[in-house]
Amino acid sequence: MPQNPGSEDPNHQSPGEPIVGVIMGSQSDWETMRHASEILEQFGVPHERRVVSAHRTPEWMCEYAKTAEQRGLRVIIAGAGGAAHLPGMVASQTELPVLGVPVQSRALQGLDSLLSIVQMPGGIPVATLAIGEAGAKNAGLLAVRILAVEDATLREKLRQHRAAQSQAVMEGSVL
């Protein structure tokens, strides 16, 4: 798999063996999905970023999903726009948790993406987040929470993050 350094490259891998995969259907989805990557970096979670198209590279998508666990991944965050089949198709090929991020589209403001991801048949779960940037950020945080179940250091970082958020609100509460 390609490993190109640089925070602006969606095909980057952070330092350390990746335990989260951040994948997206096309290069243009990076503008949204970078927010998930930034959260993972903030918490020090090693992750890889890849463009994996369900429609243009279906064999690569299946290989990515089927080998994810043996490569050490524990969670996959998958973002896609339009028909947005990537999260569901990846979920059908792995037992790992898959977090789906609907990328906002021009035609329907991401509703098409949301409905494509959230309407999965029983037995193939995808944890679906909000459309766009907020969904990508929350996908990063949800991945951290999943990992924190077995990682006390990450749990403490989450507590500190929540406390900092609360403090920021309190400091700005007087208008």
CATH number at residue 140: 3.40.50.1970
Task: Name the pTM for this structure.
Answer: 0.91
Please indicate, yes or no, if residue 174 is contained in any of the structural domains: no
Please indicate, yes or no, if residue 120 is contained in any of the structural domains: yes
Please indicate, yes or no, if residue 156 is contained in any of the structural domains: yes
Structure-token pair, residue 172: 């700005």
Structural domain that includes position 155: 20-167
Please indicate, yes or no, if residue 55 is contained in any of the structural domains: yes
**Rounded Cα gap, residues 158 and 141, in angstroms:** 8
The total of other beta-carbon atoms located within 10 Å of residue 139's CB is: 29
Sequential pLDDT tens for the chain (175 residues): 333 334 566 666 777 899 999 999 999 999 999 999 999 999 999 999 999 999 999 999 999 999 999 999 999 999 999 999 999 999 999 999 999 999 998 889 999 999 999 999 999 999 999 999 999 999 999 999 999 999 999 999 999 999 999 999 999 888 7
Please indicate, yes or no, if residue 12 is contained in any of the structural domains: no
Structural domain tally of the chain? 1
Please indicate, yes or no, if residue 85 is contained in any of the structural domains: yes
Helix (H/G/I), strand (E/B), else coil: 13 = strand
Please indicate, yes or no, if residue 3 is contained in any of the structural domains: no
- The predicted structure's pLDDT at residue 173: 82
Give the chain's length.
Answer: 175
